[in-house]
Structure 1
């Protein structure tokens, strides 16, 4: 990566007027996206992620703040004069044109020589795995193939950044998963900056070098997929990224570099030195980190007692819903092995345990 960010947002605000009232869709966003990075804007519908992308592309102008592309402020510069291209969810292919004609459209508008257009279109179709499909029309292609045409058309002009607005949303699950792998491969081969908008947490975790989790027009957390999953900065991020169990209590003691929440004579939550003794703490622990059994585990980590309220078989794993003695609901994922049988059934009393390092204090 170069020292100058590929894309930088500085104090970006976007306001809309609705029924006489001013609504802030984006509230003071600061972002720096590196050259060659696969960067995702992740969040629920209405969080401001698509509006943020449209401001980068130039389809919306910020109410306040600056949008810099490779160090140059682009506020007021029209989309066709910004060195970025955008791929939409609908693909927006020309139905009357062949695959090759769709991909060549931008090159023809730039009046490049025909041999150069033919060469670049061929190279790009090879890169997206569509060599041999040059003469097909979009209607003759699958959804995944149409998406590859849209990618090729956006990339053939050699933009310095590609913006993708939920491009996989219209595909079925298996094809979407396959295209995630292809998209990452293409990005790595062409080596340009990708900015990806999605509401799908698994998609963002699979594809991204870094993720900005957005909520209510703000960036709640910015980090690598592992950081936002393992160390969520807010309650919203903990709940939005994957499945998370949120537990709370008052720290009663400190021992061996750990803060300990005592919930009963035999129950406790142990957190790595997250706060001073006596503090109120909210802790998150991921379902796959928890062990479930009918016997009380040895001391040393977090231990809770509960009753199984639901058992859900999911193929690769079984999900156990447990109501703890404190009334909190906890979800546990247990990997299914070749000879696995249910550890417990609905109504059974069980013990939950996990290592101290798997407890994470929200906001720590």
Structure 2
């Protein structure tokens, strides 16, 4: 198929930009600022995910982009145009929800064509656009079926096709795979990424599932308590988390506190107490003597029965051993008082297989340690016009 029949025209600058956006429900249904001053720039044709726990503000942010909520203050720009005050049906975007909301009495093709018929699109163009989008979502052979004759994943693809057929400049997706079982979710993650790549439309995806975000996204904004704590590609978010929250929320991470004993030439030595020190890279300036917190991922750590030559090593006692097939996971109480988790692959490469109660040494290379920064504080929004009433 010719993908340009579904792709939006090229545009200069970000597809979507949020400037110091605040959403405060005080005096309405609650007493808290749900979104507390965020800035985001989402590029044209990007698969961008808003990731965070329940209540962090990600869905409210998506609804403000869609026009279902108005910000208390700040700007929402779609392709350069300020959308604050512009009704949802006047914005060149579509939204896909967790609920498919398909018409049970209509065929797949008629469900997809529903919006085009309301816009009075000519029959020949309507048929061509429906056929094209059904091929894109690989449902062309299901065009005459009713929704009840489809699987959950197929129904979700119909809902996606119904949004794509309108040729929006951006597509917003609010946890659309939440109702599917795990295996089907994993399959649909790859399908969604394939479809997004083919049509070239900007996707903004809301999820609380870290694996989902890592699988599909070009970039991820990790949200916490109404703020964005990090925006980066998946590998950077995982390997170089900016804050303790990001390190703990994305996968499993060991958080270690200490004092920066010395710092020079991009390298620091952290004193953990009990006479144990580790070497860390300093990507940003830190004064000697500062209290710091660092993270290291469990799979980056090697276990040995004696001290190694690694610049970063800690002694500990094995408290728990869990066999998980592809790996064995260890919980270790270190001599410094910190609890650490270690993942060892069961591929025959591990030098030791310690049991509960045994003393071990944990070691890793310096570049696998990452110093964390404090979580951002909410900004006080600049004075502006009186807030609009949320619809």
Alignment TM-score > 0.5, same fold: yes
SS in 2 for 1:318: strand
Within 2, Cα distance between the matches of 1:98 and 1:20?
39
Which digits, 9 at most, give the CA deviation of each residue in 1:168-201, with x for residues without a partner? 1111111111111111110000001000000011
Matched length: 363
Residue 280 of structure 1 and its aligned partner are, at CA, apart by: 1.3
Measured on the aligned residues, the alpha-carbon RMSD in Å equals: 2.0
Shift of 1:242: 1.0
Q: 1:101 aligns with which of 103, 110, 119?
A: 110
**Is residue 355 of structure 1 aligned with residue 365 of structure 2?**
yes
Do the aligned residues in 1 keep the contact of 2:301 with 2:364 (CA within 8 Å)? yes
Cα distance in 1 for residues equivalent to 2:83 and 2:28: 30
How far residue 316 of structure 1 moved from its aligned partner, in angstroms, is 2.1
Which residue of 322, 335, 338 corresponds with 2:332?
322
Contact 1:308 1:348 (8 Å CA) reproduced: yes
Q: Which moved more, 1:13-22 or 1:280-289?
A: 13-22
Equivalent residue, structure 1, for 2:295: 284
Change (3 A) 1:21 1:162: closer
CA contact (8 A) 2:259 2:270 kept: yes
Q: Which of 127, 134, 140 is the equivalent residue of 2:136? A: 127
For structure 1, which segment, 351-360 or 123-132, has the greater mean C-alpha deviation from structure 2 after superposition? Answer: 123-132
Q: Hey, what does 2:64 align to over in structure 1?
A: 55
Q: 2:308 aligns with which of 274, 297, 322?
A: 297
SS at match of 2:142: coil
Deviations 1:34-88 (A, max 9, x none): 1101111111000110000001111111111111111111111111111000000
Alignment counterpart, residue 249 of structure 2, candidates 240, 251, 256: 240
Structure 1 position 110 matched with structure 2 position 133: no
**Which TM-score applies when normalising by structure 1?**
0.94
Could you list the runs of 5+ residues in structure 1 that have no partner in the other structure? none
Q: Pick the aligned partner of 1:151 from 141, 160, 163.
A: 160
Secondary structure in structure 1 of the residue aligned to 2:26 = strand
Q: 1:270 aligns with which of 267, 276, 279?
A: 279
1:262, CA displacement in angstroms? 3.2
Structure 2 length normalisation: TM-score? 0.88
Kept in 2: contact 1:232–1:363 (CA 8 A): no
Q: CA deviation at 1:18?
A: 5.7
Which ranges of structure 2 fall in alignment gaps of 5 or more residues? 1-9, 375-391
Is the Cα–Cα contact under 8 Å of residues 56 and 224 in structure 2 kept in the other structure?
Answer: yes
2:25 aligned counterpart, secondary structure: strand
Relative contact order higher in (CA < 8 Å, ≥ 6 apart): 2
Deviation (angstroms), 1:338: 6.2
Change in 2 beyond 3 A, CA 1:20/1:105: closer
- Equivalent runs, 1:219-238 vs 2, <5 Å: 219-238=228-247
Q: 1:312 and 2:322 equivalent?
A: yes
CA contact (8 A) 1:318 1:336 kept: yes
Inter-partner Cα distance in structure 2 for 1:57 and 1:235: 31
Deviation at 1:258, TM superposition (A): 2.2
Counterpart pick for 1:179 among 188, 196, 221? 188
Matching residue of 2:389: none
